[in-house]
Structure 1
Amino acid sequence: MNGLPPPGRLRLMTWNIHGGIGPDRRFDLDRIASLVAKHAPDVLALQEIDTRGRDIDCLAPLRGLDIHHFTEARTIAVPDGHYGHALFSRWPTSDVVLHDLSVWRYEPRIAIETQIATPFGPLHLVAVHLGLFIFERRRQAGMLAAMARRVRGMPTVMMGDFNDWFSFGQVTRTMSHVLPERTRLRTFPAQKPALRLDRVYCSAPGMLADAFTDPAARAISDHLPIIVDLALPARGNAVPAEPAEAGHVDSDTARTGGVIDDPEPAESR
């Protein structure tokens, strides 16, 4: 499925781009940008953006996507570049916060939280790239659930690479209490997808009008993207949530600038 989303829908896309390096071991953000542009997302989350060892101008194809409001989370910054993930929005964002999800001395992890002023009402959105280890994700999932509980009267979407290897893993079990609807698409490894590492979670049933992947991404990254057509609930019908505290860090790097897959086992729902 290509082109614009149906009338009255928002199109979201999340994709781990593997540093811009495809299975041919070639760095090429032009082909990343071309595939993204084909689906015309209103909101785009990209993981594993990597400029280390390259000129910063290497990101020009991403800046040319015509999705103007931009927030990045640089989880690794070194003299010759940086590594992390980013969120692009067609509409203005506000209340941008970078939440530090890092656990001990393992790879730093940051969640991007914001509110997006869509034509259909405000959307609370969090973009993530979670840790590789179960105990990391257990703590990170708890922090994400707290972010969802804190927001009242506004639909919430969390999307990205959750690295939750098991369909009934800790992330899903924790988040299903506050974000009951999610995608179930296999995205990794791209050549023969077996695992649902990349997901979109929503706060209300019926928000996921459609969800699909693009097999053409097999030639570009080790993950397939998830593209979602989202139906926001009518104002006043957003799932209420309880307030909760969530640790965060403010950062100078934050700037505003298909087909649903086969069902999971019953115990994972």
Structure 2
Amino acid sequence: MKLRIATYNMHKGVSAFGHQARIHGMKEAIAGLNADLVFLQEVQGRHDENAKRHSSWPEAGHHEFLAGDTHHVAYGMNAVYEHGHHGNALLSRYPITSLINHDVSDHAYEQRGILHAVVQVNTVAVHCFVIHLGLFAASRRRQVQALIQTIVRDTPSEAPLIIAGDFNDWNQRLSTTLYEHLGVVEAFDVINNETKKSAMRRTFSDYFVSLRRSHARTFPAQFPWLCLDRVYLRGFQVEQAVVLKDEPWYSLSDHVPILVCLDIPDLPA
């Protein structure tokens, strides 16, 4: 069975420069992806000042506005302030059977969370984790350890797993830890380093040792250079992974999105 997923840091629905409202353009662009699952970061649940400043600002939270009538939605509120709040969200074409938001804030100046939603894709429960890690390396390391502990505790070892979002891991040091402890692979490492057949033939240790890091460049949007956004997987075959660098994406947010096409081997097409 095929599954289309995307991950996108939407910069609270405003442009990277000038803070112009871009939420309507984002809605149209995200709908055009025809994705089954969309992992979103910096989702504006409420912002009273922007609602006053921009006449077209949606009345609903951005997660509900983007989901519309086509997707189910889970929202994890992380940062709360006097005039609103924002966090992570998951849009799903399939039913969301459970959700929990784990607070992994490392200090008072950054409120971060891990949104865990279980999505029922036909007969298979897919565990989805929406991530937006901190700006400091020490914080990211602690947050990744919290993620690992959460997955080991709450996710069956045989369950299909997707971890996607903004890892802020510009020096690409976190993948080793995730690979070793969770048995996941990153979508672009699969596409760029192995064919699917050779990856299945080799042992995990052989695959890990031979791996060359090749994560996607997604930031800044107008000239993507840093590899901040990731899609880690377990229990899937990766058919395609692309960075969407062209219009309209490079003028909407400060990140560009990743689109990944997957196959669940045990499910019929």
Of residues 161, 186, 199, the one that matches 2:230 is 199
- Matched with 1:54 is 50
- Matched with 1:174 is 177
Displacement of 1:62 in angstroms is: 2.9
**Matched pairs, number:** 225
1:187–1:198 contact (8 Å) kept in structure 2: yes
**TM-aligned CA distance change 1:24 to 1:100, over 3 Å:** closer
2:67–2:91 contact (8 Å) kept in structure 1: no
Displacement of 1:188 in angstroms is: 0.6
- Matched with 2:130 is 127
> For 2:258 and 2:6, how far apart are their aligned partners in 1?
6
**TM-aligned CA distance change 1:175 to 1:68, over 3 Å:** same
> For 1:65 and 1:88, how far apart are their aligned partners in 2?
10
Amino acid at match of 1:13: A
> For 1:81 and 1:180, how far apart are their aligned partners in 2?
35
1:37–1:65 contact (8 Å) kept in structure 2: no
Displacement of 1:28 in angstroms is: 2.0
Matched, 1:208 2:238: yes
1:47–1:129 contact (8 Å) kept in structure 2: yes
- Matched with 1:224 is 256
Matched, 1:34 2:28: yes
1:29–1:62 contact (8 Å) kept in structure 2: no
- Matched with 2:6 is 13
Three-state SS of the structure 2 residue aligned to 1:176 is helix
Matched, 1:77 2:99: no
Structure 2 unaligned spans of 5+: 52-57, 189-214
1:186–1:193 contact (8 Å) kept in structure 2: yes
**TM-aligned CA distance change 1:232 to 1:141, over 3 Å:** same
> For 2:127 and 2:90, how far apart are their aligned partners in 1?
13
Structure 1 unaligned spans of 5+: 1-7, 236-269
1:155-194 CA-partner distances (Å, limit 9, x unpaired): 1110010111112x1x212111214311321101111111
User: Would you tell me which structure has more helix in proportion to its own residues?
Assistant: 2
Identity of aligned residues (%): 31
Amino acid at match of 1:208: V
> For 1:65 and 1:118, how far apart are their aligned partners in 2?
20
Of residues 3, 9, 15, the one that matches 1:22 is 15
> For 2:177 and 2:107, how far apart are their aligned partners in 1?
21
Alignment of 1:116-195 (within 5 A): 116-119=119-122, 121-150=124-153, 151-152=155-156, 153-167=158-172, 169=173, 171-177=174-180, 178-182=182-186, 183=188, 184-195=215-226
> For 1:233 and 1:74, how far apart are their aligned partners in 2?
34
Three-state SS of the structure 1 residue aligned to 2:107 is coil
> For 1:91 and 1:42, how far apart are their aligned partners in 2?
7
Displacement of 1:54 in angstroms is: 3.1
> For 2:39 and 2:131, how far apart are their aligned partners in 1?
8
Amino acid at match of 1:207: Q
